[in-house]
Amino acid sequence: MQELKKIVVIGPESTGKSSLCELLAKHFKTFWVPEFAREYLLTNGTNYTYDNLLTIAKGQVALEDEYIGKSIKRFEVKNQDFENPMLFVDTDMYVMKVWCEYVFGKCHAYIEDKITERKADFYLLCNVDLPWAQDELREYPDLETRKELYEIYKNILINQSVPWAVISGNYEERLQTAINTINNAFT
């Protein structure tokens, strides 16, 4: 059996990351790691501090590790030969870095260390071409800010070595593009 492939979906808020992860996991019959920040902010409120972002980052790493363990166990237990076991991850430490730096102008060393230590196998960058969806946790409804954040993510991906692709269009187009991209990368 091949090693588990970690495919991370990143991008600004309200770009369909969670929906895409969930649909990709369903399509490829695997797990996806939800965004820890969502549950944390729903539980603790939206008036977060710089130190809260460190707590969120640690929670995201722990949640990802939990799902990596579940995925590996699932693929080992089944008596099938999985050619390409995958795990879809809704956000990673790059998202935490952007969040810290955009809001507070600095980033925790823990987050930067985890970026170096934890590697993805592929990134899907969600474009800002979906209509804004109001949500009690979202902070940037204006398109200009969302475009600025998108460019920050794009520059990060350009300057690292893991393959990546931009995902654009409506929800169905995004899903099809992502499926095709993943199939081309891993089959």
* Amino acid in position 50: Y
**87 pLDDT higher than 70:** yes
Say which CATH number the domain at 96 has.
Answer: 3.40.50.300
Question: Residue 137: what pLDDT?
Answer: 66
What is the mean pLDDT of the segment spanning 47-71? 96
Nearest 10 degrees: Cα torsion 30, 33, 38, 43: 100
C-alpha span between 15 and 165 (Å, rounded): 14
C-alpha span between 93 and 99 (Å, rounded): 10
C-alpha span between 98 and 96 (Å, rounded): 5
Radius of gyration from C-alpha coordinates of the chain: 16
* Residue 79 pLDDT grade (very low, low, confident, very high; cuts 50, 70, 90): very low
Q: What is the total count of domains within the chain? A: 1
Domain that includes residue 11, residue range? 5-186
* Residue 1 pLDDT grade (very low, low, confident, very high; cuts 50, 70, 90): very low
In sequence order, which residues have a C-beta less than 8 Å from that of residue 42 and are 6 or more positions away?
136, 137
